[in-house]
């Protein structure tokens, strides 16, 4: 997934069956993207549609099944629709015929649970106009706006688009720079990128590409080397690097190569700070040393990929943690945004990957049940740094302004 796509605003469209959710998407897109039918339940599982909306830019719209779906299968569809609340930045509740009843109120309570801004669109206004009492009720429930609309005669489409634009949180459009606050104009940043069995043929992995782009965006100079050339190159560099970023898997080797006075961190830790729950990662990482025999550790991968014989999440991290702690533990890996196989409280530790292909909100909400339950959370790179004994150095660049850095070490 290219840079920028994961930062596109994600907008979920919700409502009863046959309320015109798909018609609204087609009106916003200006083309027939979603199947429209008078038959209730045409949309079953949530469907993502990436498109450009005038006045907003590229967005991901998620068309969901009706919240009034029926039967056992219908309930499963509703559950899948509700699961998307963890991944979106804005919800649009589509109602018709001034229906704002138990189903809608239950959905609104879920919006509030996930601290999700939402607007209400009263569709089919050509059949019945929005009642002011319903508008007032929706606002009292927390709607940022309530608008009358007809997908058949979208005369006020521009008003709908502007309302959506105003309602999308600013954080959905912007992301924190990876290295902007760590470097200055003209600084040299050295990236140590191993080319091994897990490296994709003919290209760099996404976090490395993102780091290079961010360095250039901050008017600095990126120098990319493999670990075998890093030692001789760093001794010849003039000026010396203001920062060195390494792949987590060779953290220990990089620690020996890079002089102690030069800040050193990893791609994964940069991503952890940019789009992860970094404060809770800092609190949770030291808990690795408290793991016991029989503990269950959950590893969360945000993408699905080909599993190699020495996979970082399924093989290396479990091996490193077992060797470091000397304990016999159980490890479970969940890829993508799939449901967990057991309650979150069954785990002694949760380790999240860098999350290069999903949004910060998706990661935060993915980890929210663990944080609320008091289950320690950490990140691939931070966990690796801890078991390799170089964690204090790896997080030091980000703790320069912390009032008491020792509390995280």
For the segment 375-409, what is each residue's pLDDT rounded down to a tens digit? 999 999 899 999 999 999 999 999 876 656 666 66
pLDDT on residue 35: 44
Q: Which of 118-122, 198-202, 394-398 has the highest mean pLDDT?
A: 118-122
Q: Are residues 142 and 158 in the same domain?
A: yes
Decide: 376 and 351 in contact? Cβ < 8 Å.
Answer: no
Q: What does the pLDDT average to over 352-368?
A: 84
Q: Which of residues 219, 250, 270 is at a domain's end?
A: 270
- For residue 211, what are the domain limits? 188-270
Q: Are residues 153 and 48 in the same domain?
A: yes
Q: Is residue 407 part of a domain?
A: no
Residue matched to tokens 């009863």: 16
State CA 216 to chain mean position distance. Answer: 24
Asked whether residue 1 is assigned to any structural domain, the reply reads no
Which CATH number fits the domain that encloses residue 293?
A: 3.40.50.11410
CB 210 within 8 A of CB 176: no
**Same-domain status, 143 and 228:** no
In angstroms, the CA 268 to CA 194 distance is: 14
User: Considering the domain boundaries, does residue 65 fall inside one?
Assistant: yes
How far, CA to CA in Å, does 135 sit from each of 93, 99, 121? 13, 11, 10
Instruction: Decide if 180 is inside a domain.
Output: no
Q: What is the largest CA-CA distance in the chain?
A: 76
- Of 317 and 87, the structure prediction assigns the larger pLDDT to 317
Taking residue 8's Cβ as centre, other Cβ atoms within 10 Å add up to 19
Q: Which two tokens stand for residue 103?
A: 């189903």
Q: Does residue 198 surpass a pLDDT of 80? A: no
- pLDDT at position 358 over 90: no
Number of folded domains that form the chain: 3
Of the three residues 144, 172, 200, the one that is the final residue of a domain is 172
Structure tokens at 270: 């940069």
Does residue 408 fall inside a structural domain? no
Tell me, yes or no, whether 2 lies in a domain: no
CA distance readout (Å), 23 to 32, 42, 96, 341, 405: 8, 12, 13, 36, 53
Neighbouring-strand partners of residue 222: 189
Report the SS3 class of residue 32: coil
Confidence of residue 306 (pLDDT cuts 50, 70, 90): very low
Q: Does one domain contain both 41 and 70?
A: yes
For residues 168 and 290, state if they share a domain.
no
CATH at 104:
3.40.50.300
pLDDT, tens digit (0-9, with 9 covering 90-100), for 50-59:
878 777 778 8
Which domain-ending residue is among 243, 270, 297? 270
- Mean per-residue pLDDT of the chain: 86
What is the rounded CA–CA span in Å between residue 33 and residue 294?
Answer: 50
226: left (phi over 0), alpha (psi -120 to 50) or beta: beta
Whether residue 160 sits in one domain with residue 30: yes
What is the model's pLDDT at position 185?
95
pLDDT the model gives residue 37: 46
Shared domain check, 261 and 299: no
Helix H or strand E encompassing 206: helix 206-217
Tell me what pLDDT residue 169 has: 84
Q: Decide if 299 is inside a domain.
A: yes
Query: Among 41-50, 266-275, 291-300, which is the least confidently predicted range?
Result: 41-50
| Structure-block tokens of residue 1 | 């997934």
- List the beta bridge partners of residue 286: none
pLDDT 10s digits, 205-260: 888 998 999 999 999 999 999 988 898 888 888 889 999 999 888 888 999 999 99
203 & 79 share domain? no
- Say whether pLDDT at 30 is over 90: no
| pLDDT score at 1 | 31
Confidence of residue 39 (pLDDT cuts 50, 70, 90): very low
**Whether residue 322 sits in one domain with residue 362:** yes
Task: Say how many residues make up the chain.
Answer: 409
Cβ atoms of 170 and 204 closer than 8 Å: no
Q: What is the rounded distance in angstroms from the CA atom of residue 251 to the CA atom of residue 317?
A: 13
Residue 162 has pLDDT above 50, yes or no: yes
* CATH classification of the domain holding 214: 3.40.50.11420
Is the Cβ–Cβ distance between 289 and 383 less than 8 Å?
A: no
How far from 342 is each of 72, 333, 334, CA to CA, in Å?
A: 21, 12, 11
What is the average pLDDT across 183-194? Answer: 94
- The pLDDT assigned to 47 comes to 81
Residue 387 lies in a domain: yes
Chain centroid, CA 152 distance in Å = 35
Question: pLDDT tens digits for 42-99?
Answer: 445 578 888 787 777 788 899 998 998 888 888 888 888 998 898 899 999 999 999 9
Q: Examine the domain organization and report whether 15 and 137 are in the same domain.
A: yes
Clarify whether residues 50 and 86 are in a common domain.
yes
Output b/e per residue, 300-325; b: 16+ Cβ within 10 A: bbbeeeeeeeebbbbebbbebbbebb
Residue 34 and residue 77 in one domain: yes
């Amino acid at each position: 997934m290219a840079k920028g796509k994961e930062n596109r605003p994600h907008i979920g469209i919700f409502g009863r069956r046959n309320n015109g959710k798909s018609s609204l998407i087609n009106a916003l897109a200006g083309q027939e993207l979603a199947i429209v039918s008078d038959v209730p339940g045409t949309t079953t599982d949530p469907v993502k549609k990436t498109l450009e909306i005038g006045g907003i830019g590229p967005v991901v719209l998620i068309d969901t099944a009706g919240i009034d779906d029926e039967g056992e299968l219908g309930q499963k569809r509703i559950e899948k629709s509700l699961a998307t609340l963890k991944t979106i930045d804005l919800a649009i509740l589509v109602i018709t015929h001034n229906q704002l009843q138990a189903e809608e109120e239950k959905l609104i309570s879920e919006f509030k649970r996930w601290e999700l801004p939402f607007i209400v669109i009263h569709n089919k206004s050509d059949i019945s106009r929005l009642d002011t009492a319903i508008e007032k009720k929706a606002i009292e429930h927390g709607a940022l706006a309530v608008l009358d609309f007809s997908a058949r005669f979208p005369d006020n489409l521009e008003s709908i688009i502007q309302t959506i634009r105003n309602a999308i949180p600013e954080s959905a459009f912007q992301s924190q720079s990876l290295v902007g606050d760590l470097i200055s104009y003209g600084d040299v940043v050295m990236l140590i990128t191993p080319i091994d069995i897990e490296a994709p043929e003919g290209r760099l992995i996404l976090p490395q590409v993102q780091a290079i782009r961010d360095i250039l965006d901050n008017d600095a100079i990126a120098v990319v080397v493999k670990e075998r050339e890093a030692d001789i190159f760093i001794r010849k560099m003039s000026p010396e690097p203001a920062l060195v970023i390494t792949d987590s898997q060779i953290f220990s080797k990089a620690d020996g190569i890079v002089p102690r006075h030069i800040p050193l961190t990893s791609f994964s830790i940069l991503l952890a700070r940019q789009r992860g729950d970094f404060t809770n990662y800092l609190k949770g990482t030291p808990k690795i040393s408290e793991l016991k025999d029989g503990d269950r550790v959950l590893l969360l991968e945000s993408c699905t990929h080909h599993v190699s014989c020495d996979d970082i999440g399924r093989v290396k991290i479990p091996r490193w943690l077992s060797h470091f702690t000397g304990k016999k533990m159980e490890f479970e890996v969940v890829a993508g945004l799939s449901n967990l196989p057991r309650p979150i409280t069954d785990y002694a530790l949760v380790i999240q990957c860098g999350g290069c292909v999903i949004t910060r909100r998706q990661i935060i909400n993915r980890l929210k049940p663990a944080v609320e339950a008091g289950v320690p959370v950490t990140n691939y790179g931070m966990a690796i740094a801890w078991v390799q004994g170089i964690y204090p150095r790896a997080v030091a660049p980000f703790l320069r302004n912390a009032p008491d850095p020792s509390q995280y070490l």
